[in-house]
Every structure is written in structure tokens, then in C-alpha cells.
Amino acid sequence: KKPVCECNACYGGSDCSKLLSNCSADAGSGDPYFLEPFWMERAASSAILVSGWHRMGYTYSDRTYISELLVKYIKKFHATVGNAITEGKYIIFGSGSTQLLSAAVYALSPTSSHSPAKVLATAPYYYVYRTQTQFFNSRDFSYEGDTSLWKNKTDKNSLFIEIVTSPNNPDGKLNKGVLQGPNVKTIHDRAYYWPHFTAIPSPADDDLMLYTISKLTGHAGTRFGWAIIKDKAVYEKMSTYMDVNTMGVSRDAQLRALKLLDVALEEDGKQIFQFGYSTLRDRWIRLKKTISKTKRFSLQKLSSQYCTFFKKERDPSPAYAWFKCERKEDKNCYKILEAAGINGRKGSLYGAEDRYVRLGLIRSKDDFEILINQLKVLVAKE
């Protein structure tokens, strides 16, 4: 029995099993607590102990900021999962893929040009592409909105940087770049290209790819991501950015990432991905069933696909629901859900209409149960 003091804010009773009314479902942030039970079962084997004297210096013995052993583990991980080609490419680390995104935009932009690079994404897109580019407000690049504004338009004097998220946050689609031409450079954000969230049809082999442990092992708080880069000049510019910005990534974070990848690689990743996939697949099935009882709401359409990792056709298991209010008058879906005790994220954040709301499905079991419960109440009112 759990002691009462550990009850989630929405649960009460002597064993925390009573769902309290007037409780809001937190489906806002993308905290990946769905993997917490996996790590609880491996509490001892995934622990690290760092003595006070350990790794006090700035660099490793080869005078770099990057653990070569961790690079080896990352390459082994990709080869085992089959989700990225790393041979003949460069790898650098960042404090989460968030920092690498900024480094990549910097590295792909011209320096001190009269014509800044145009940074673009296709809606619905992960809003940090917009907020980060605007925040850094550089002479060398600027956020220019949706790719649809530039498709089939020629602007020979500009360089375009298209950010492609595949699978996409928020709708889980395996997106491809839409702009083409010699003056288009693409950043592929592969944060969700892991068997928890999607089929892996083939290893990704793009020029510049971003990965992160945040959505792989679920350790978003460790702040550790990596970029896989084809072009040496781009790699060198990104490395300079990392050196000047933070002198590389915390050695403690690299040590923890190494341990977590080592444990996740047990049985060639079958344990962690089977757990992640079946958890999210079940959640998606339950959510779809709940919404199917009304025509007022809908979810994105995703289909089964052959996965080279599981060696079989697998069902959808997206990280987020891209929830839509179908009625013409329900223009503000966020408000409708909020009034029903459900906190999501507004569609307009993602460059879409507010009749869409993103609901996180990768939070804890409690969070998901509360979400389903509140949705059932809302749907039953129809």
C-alpha cells in the first residue's frame, strides 16, 4: 500500500486509489514519465555514483569535450535499432537537442550576409523552432513562417533552412521536407524516431539529424542530445558554437547518458521499446475508443506500418494526440477542454487553428487515467 502522503494530487483514500472529482488532467507538457516504471524496475542497475574527485576538469584525456565511449554507444544504439546511419558522419553533443537546434541554424546560415537565411517549418510544427529563432534575433537568420508561403517561389538570393520533424510533434506523422533546390538546407529533428512512437521503415540518412535521450530513455532533465552531421564544414561550425556557448555538455550528464544507454541496450533494446510501444499503443487505442463515441471531436489519422525493428507491422503509438473540435462554432477547443478539466496546448502555438489542441500521451499512468476519465465525462455530455 502506498502511504497517503505520496498520493497524486488527483487521488485520495487510504491507498490513493480514489479518483477525486474537480481534478484537472495535465496533458500539457511532454514530460516522458511513461518510462518511469521501466526505470523503477532497474533502479539499481541504472544508478550511477559519482565521487567528489571524479571528472573535475573541463576536458577528457584527449582534450575534447566529448566522451568517445559515449559516441561509440550512440553509434551502436542506432545500428541496433536501425533508425539512423552514422557511418562516415560526425557526431556532436548538446544540452538537449534544443541547444543543437540553435547550433544547427547558426551553422547552416551565411555569416554576415545581406540576406539572412529564412528559417521555415510546416504547420503544425514544434513551436520552439519559431520562438528560438526569433529570440536569438540574428543578422544571419530569421523565422519566416510556414513553408507553404515559399513553395514554388524562386528567390535565388536567399538561403532557406527547413526544419522537418519526423515523426512530427504534434501529430506523429512521418513528415518529409517540402522545399527543394540548391539553396535549401534541411534540419531533420528525429527526437521521436524511436520504436516507442513510430514504425521504423528504414534508417534515416539525412544531412543533419537531431536526436535526444529526452524521448529515448525519457530523461528530459539530463539535458542530453546529439547531432549526426554529414558535412565537415557544418560539423566544425556547430562544434565552434558548442565551444563558445557552453564549452560542451556537462561531463556528469554524459556519464549518466552512458549508463542509461547501456541499460537500455539490454537485449538489443527489446525491453525498453517493447515497454514503450505497448504502453503508448494501449493509450492510443483507449483514447480513440473514448473519442469514437461522438462526432464533436476527432484525432489525427495514423495507420499501421511495417517496422524493421520489431520485424512486423505495428499499430500507431503516438506521443501526442492532435485533438480537434469539429463543430464550426467550437473555434476555441482549448477553452472547451479547459472547462472540462483538461489542460492541453493550444493549436495556435503550433501554427494551426485553435480548434486543435495537443494532448500529451507520454506522461505518467495517473495523468493518462485522469485524462481519459475527464474525456469520458465530456463525451458523455454529448
Q: Contact positions toward ligand PMP, by CB under 6 A?
A: 30, 96-98, 126, 165, 169, 189, 191, 212, 214, 220, 225
Q: Which is nearer to ligand PMP, 99 or 290 (CB)?
A: 99
- CB-wise, 16 or 108, nearer to ligand PMP? 108
Which CB, 8 or 165, lies closer to ligand PMP?
165
Residue nearer to ligand PMP on the CB measure, 71 or 213: 213
Taking the complex as a whole, the smallest distance from the CB of residue 256 to ligand PMP amounts, in Å, to 14
CB of 93 to ligand PMP, least distance (A): 11
Residues near 311 by beta carbon (within 8 Å), at least 6 away in sequence: none
Other residues' Cβ atoms within 10 Å of the Cβ of residue 128: 17
Locate all alpha helices (DSSP H) within 19-95, ordered by sequence.
Answer: 36-40, 68-81
Residue count of the chain: 382
Name the minimum Å distance from CB 71 to ligand PMP. 17
Q: How far apart are CA 261 and CA 190, in angstroms?
A: 17
Q: Rounded to an integer, what distance in angstroms lies between the CA atom of residue 96 and that of residue 226?
A: 7
> 280 with 197: CB under 8 angstroms?
yes
**What does DSSP assign to residue 204?**
B
Pairing of strands 11-12, 90-94: unpaired
Q: Which of 264, 324, 227, 282 is nearest to 81 (CA)?
A: 264
- Copy the grid coordinates of residue 317: 503509438
* Helices (runs of H) and strands (runs of E) counted in the chain: 9, 17
The least distance separating ligand PMP from the CB of residue 190, rounded to whole angstroms, comes to: 9
CB of 327 to ligand PMP, least distance (A): 29
Residue closer to ligand PMP, measured from CB, 67 or 166: 166
Minimum separation from the CB atom of position 101 to ligand PMP (A): 7
| Least distance (Å) between residue 199 CB and ligand PMP | 18
Beta strands in the chain (DSSP E): 11-12, 18-19, 25-26, 90-94, 117-121, 141-146, 160-165, 184-189, 208-212, 225-229, 297-298, 305-307, 312-314, 320-325, 342-343, 345-346, 356-360
Cβ proximity to ligand PMP: between 225 and 316 the closer is: 225
Nearer to ligand PMP by Cβ, of 67 and 212: the residue is 212
Q: Which residue number places its CB atom closest to ligand PMP? A: 96
Q: Which is nearer to ligand PMP, 96 or 341 (CB)?
A: 96
Q: How far is the CB of 85 from ligand PMP (least distance, A)?
A: 20
Look up residue 220 and give its DSSP letter: G
